[in-house]
Chain A
Amino acid sequence: MKTRLILATIAATLLAAAPAQARIKLVALPERARVVVALSNPTATLVEEERILTLTKGVNKVDFSWRGVNIDASSIQVRMLSHPADVKLLNTSYPPNENALIWEIASPAAQEERVRISYLLNGLGRDIAYRAVAEQDEKALTLRNYLRLNNASGEDLTDAELSIGYGAPFKKSIAHEEVLEMLSERIEKLPIKKVLRWDSRQQPWDPEYEKKTVGIPLNYIIKNDEASKLGTHTLLPGKVRIFIKTKDQAAGEGEAAGEGVAFTGEDWGLLTPVDREMKLYIGQSREVKVTQRKMKDDRVNLRRNNQNQVILWDTDEVFKVEIENFKKSPVDIVLVQHIPGYWKMKESSHKYEKKDAFTIEYALTLPAESKGDKKTTISFNLEHLNVQGNEPANY
């Protein structure tokens, strides 16, 4: 433990009489009675430690110093817990070239005072790691949330109450240079949505012209709400590793029978406040094939200037999307279409959702083995209006 608290209690009269010697009159080294480490702020670690000071009547000097610990000196505070109304902090002095400060605390009587000293401590790194095991049907998973602390602060934290801003705090010891991983949350049968997302701007339109089978990005979506057995706190950002259950493994040589799992992918989970979705891109599906073609692309209503140049036109466009599902189970897929400029939909075979001025999405459930003659076909006919060739595609 590198922080040190020296209590020097001196009667006020002695101080006035012999100031230079007064400091060494009495020295006590009160131990920490409690250490609380708050990790709720992602950019700062707040340490609050409680110590019991034995104060004499009058003015007491309390010397707080630290060595090899990266403490933000401007953040150090002391609060009186036992007699907050009577025991007063008079002032704080900062000696030159020392990691130290001296509090002058006045006490109306000789008594014990529990004080809480708080400061911001640098060097206590924390990571959140998620491990998820999905059921075979990929409709639910078991989510384990681990807090990983990397103590490079210079300070040994003994029996510290570690709090991440939610749930009960952990009481742990973590020495300087120690890395400690703790299971902070475990949720069974958390419902998930598995969605393939084909984006007309990202994926090739005609797989026939590709040398490799086109994969369609596969996402797991976790909603941070009560229905998903979450919704009590913001999900902190961290790496999510996803496994999927396989058939139970038979007992092998020296191994008991158990649940088999296979790794299916990982992604960085972004910070997800309550009632919002965490979208995890975990891999690609090659069991679904999307072919999109533009079947009609005509300019109509051409307007020319005096030099006979076309300066304004409308369009008539027809798109056809064919989707095949080779899986033996139904698949949810979202098709994203980007349509710049001023446009109107004239006709669409399927319902779509306008996400913004330049984006529409078709959300479909593809039946099992809907391939060949059973494939799903979407077609839509749209027109662009008042086109000059300088229309926005983004905002």
Chain B
Amino acid sequence: MNTLRSLASATLASLLLAPAASARINVVTLPGRDTVQLTIYNSADLTLVKETRVLTFRKGINKLEFSWANTLIDPTSVEFKALTHADEVDVLDASFPPRVTNTLEWRIKSEFAGEVKVEIRYFTSGISWAADYVAEANKAEKLMALAGSVRINNNSGEDYEQAQVRLVVGVIRLVENIAQLAQQGRPGQPPPPPVATPMPVTMAPAPRAAAMRGMALADVAGGKPHEVVKEELGEYFLYTVEGRDTIPTGWGKRLPSFRAADVPVTSYYKFEKERWGDQVIRYYKFTNAVPSKLGKEPLPDGAVKAFRTVTDDNLYAFIGSTSVKYIPVGESVEMELGADPEVLVKPSLMDWQKTDMKFNEQGNVAGWTIKQTWQFELQNSKEIDVVLDIRRNFAGDWTLVTAQAQEKVDATKVKFVIPLKPREKKTFTYELTTRFGTNATK
């Protein structure tokens, strides 16, 4: 533990006789944490910390001091609860002493003398987690192995040793920012001057980091990766990392979450001039479902590195870095992999006619119709099967005539989905008629 966090208890009886100013620092015990649980959210800078300690109470009024200098704990969130002898231990009040930041005192009335297991719970900012994925497509790019990991970063100012780690996948609402509340040091206070802010991690002295290196790794036993157990929790998903992990402040830790082999994948290419100009954008398309060897849980949003194995001994070709959105179970996913010049979509306007001229009473042109013939040249220079998704946007009173199968996406958008074999070339055409002025019928 690097930050000075103390939990001190003192009996009121002795304190009452002492001068008020020194009473608070009458430290009796400094019990260590017995267990600590971190519940880390990825949608907000928020972690719920739950720790248990064993305190020795005397009968009567006990005073407990809890302080958290150089950390990012939200002072409004600190809670105390007795886990044993709960009906004999009552919190009378909590006070934030004057002229002191990052400290609170509980007055606790105990009917019991002896050891009591207590739970202290609070929010902290500065701990985050994120999912990331490695997609490994086979040579034909029909199947891929998808491996998910979770990476936890601790920049909270506090070392959490032997902690149980739980990760929440979901979007929660916060009306105030935990990091700001933490800076205030005490409820309802303006933020303290900069000297009191937590030390940025980047300024942590190197020797300490080196000393921590051994400690960070001291929590693996049994030689098995900690399994990440997933459960549904209302609108959220809770990932519980089995076992205990130590994550000192400043450190990050990445744990494997799942690996699915032979996930069917389609090389899906999109063309939409209004979005990407002349470029054809490549996607890997797959479904987070059981038939696709996935579908056990939603996949949190995260960064993806995509590779293709190109040799018999599984050497990689790097395809690209991308990210995926949150993917519920059953949802189809498109992983964007950037432009691919080896697939060509070339639309050409082959004919343009202005016809059906109409005139108004003044003799001016009032209505006309434009007829366009478009030809699409498609070419797959790759050695793999691809599927093209071509979208065209039309405005006004338009009608489309084509022999090519198409789907109307909305009032102004049409989609053509066309598979291409390796090295295949195709063309298709459509005729677009647009009526203007008095010729318009809708």
Chain A: residues with CB nearer than 8 A to chain B? 12, 15-16, 19-23, 36, 38, 40-41, 44, 46, 48, 58-59, 61, 74-75, 77, 79, 88-98, 102, 104, 106-108, 118, 120, 163, 165, 234, 271, 273-276, 303-307, 311-312, 341-342, 354-358, 385-386, 388, 391-392, 395
Among candidates B303, B315, B361, B364, residue contacting A74 with C-beta atoms closer than 8 Å: B303
Q: Give bound CA distance, A385 to B355, whole Å.
A: 9
Among candidates B315, B350, B354, residue contacting A36 with C-beta atoms closer than 8 Å: B315
Indicate if B353 sits at the interface (CB-CB under 8 A): yes
Does A38 lie within 8 Å of B317, measured CB to CB? yes
Q: Give bound CA distance, A274 to B341, whole Å.
A: 11
Q: Give bound CA distance, A23 to B220, whole Å.
A: 14
Contacts of B351 in A (CB 8 A): 357
Contacts of A273 in B (CB 8 A): 341-342, 344, 379, 381
| Minimum Cβ distance to chain A for residue B198 (Å) | 14
Contacts of B341 in A (CB 8 A): 234, 271, 273
| Minimum Cβ distance to chain A for residue B139 (Å) | 13
Q: Give bound CA distance, A228 to B204, whole Å.
A: 63
Measured CB to CB, the nearest residue on chain B to A15 is: B218
Interface residues of B in 236-263 (CB under 8 A from A): 245, 249-256
Contacts of A163 in B (CB 8 A): 315
Indicate if B365 sits at the interface (CB-CB under 8 A): yes
Does A102 lie within 8 Å of B220, measured CB to CB? no
| Minimum Cβ distance to chain A for residue B282 (Å) | 12
Contacts of B226 in A (CB 8 A): 90-91
Indicate if B336 sits at the interface (CB-CB under 8 A): no
Does A234 lie within 8 Å of B381, measured CB to CB? yes
Q: Give bound CA distance, A102 to B213, whole Å.
A: 9
Measured CB to CB, the nearest residue on chain A to B212 is: A95
The answer to whether A312 and B318 touch (CB under 8 A), given A92-B254, A95-B212, A106-B223, is no
Does B225 lie within 8 Å of A91, measured CB to CB? yes
Does A22 lie within 8 Å of B218, measured CB to CB? yes
Among candidates B211, B223, B316, B354, residue contacting A108 with C-beta atoms closer than 8 Å: B223
Measured CB to CB, the nearest residue on chain B to A77 is: B134
The answer to whether A92 and B253 touch (CB under 8 A), given A274-B381, A305-B364, is yes
Chain B: residues with CB nearer than 8 A to chain A? 132, 134, 153, 201-202, 204, 206, 209-218, 220-226, 245, 249-256, 303, 305, 307, 310, 314-321, 341-342, 344, 348-355, 357, 359, 361-365, 368, 372-373, 379, 381, 423, 425
The answer to whether A21 and B368 touch (CB under 8 A), given A36-B315, A96-B201, A358-B352, is no
Measured CB to CB, the nearest residue on chain A to B211 is: A20
The answer to whether A354 and B365 touch (CB under 8 A), given A19-B217, A41-B317, is no
Contacts of B210 in A (CB 8 A): 95
Does A15 lie within 8 Å of B254, measured CB to CB? no
- Provide the main secondary structure of the chain A interface: mixed
The answer to whether A90 and B223 touch (CB under 8 A), given A19-B218, A38-B315, A95-B209, is yes
Contacts of B222 in A (CB 8 A): 12
Task: Give me the 5 closest cross-chain CB pairs, A-B, nearest first.
Answer: A96-B250, A106-B223, A273-B381, A305-B363, A19-B218
Does A391 lie within 8 Å of B354, measured CB to CB? yes
Does B217 lie within 8 Å of A311, measured CB to CB? no
Does A93 lie within 8 Å of B357, measured CB to CB? no
Contacts of A61 in B (CB 8 A): 217
Contacts of A388 in B (CB 8 A): 365
Q: Give bound CA distance, A59 to B349, whole Å.
A: 66
Does A41 lie within 8 Å of B320, measured CB to CB? yes
Contacts of B361 in A (CB 8 A): 306
Does B315 lie within 8 Å of A93, measured CB to CB? no
Does A15 lie within 8 Å of B217, measured CB to CB? yes
| Minimum Cβ distance to chain B for residue A232 (Å) | 10
Q: Give bound CA distance, A328 to B138, whole Å.
A: 56
Q: Give bound CA distance, A67 to B250, whole Å.
A: 19
| Minimum Cβ distance to chain A for residue B291 (Å) | 25
Does A94 lie within 8 Å of B350, measured CB to CB? no
Measured CB to CB, the nearest residue on chain A to B204 is: A96
Contacts of A95 in B (CB 8 A): 209-210, 212-213, 216, 250-251
Q: Give bound CA distance, A328 to B201, whole Å.
A: 78
Measured CB to CB, the nearest residue on chain B to A108 is: B223
| Minimum Cβ distance to chain A for residue B346 (Å) | 10
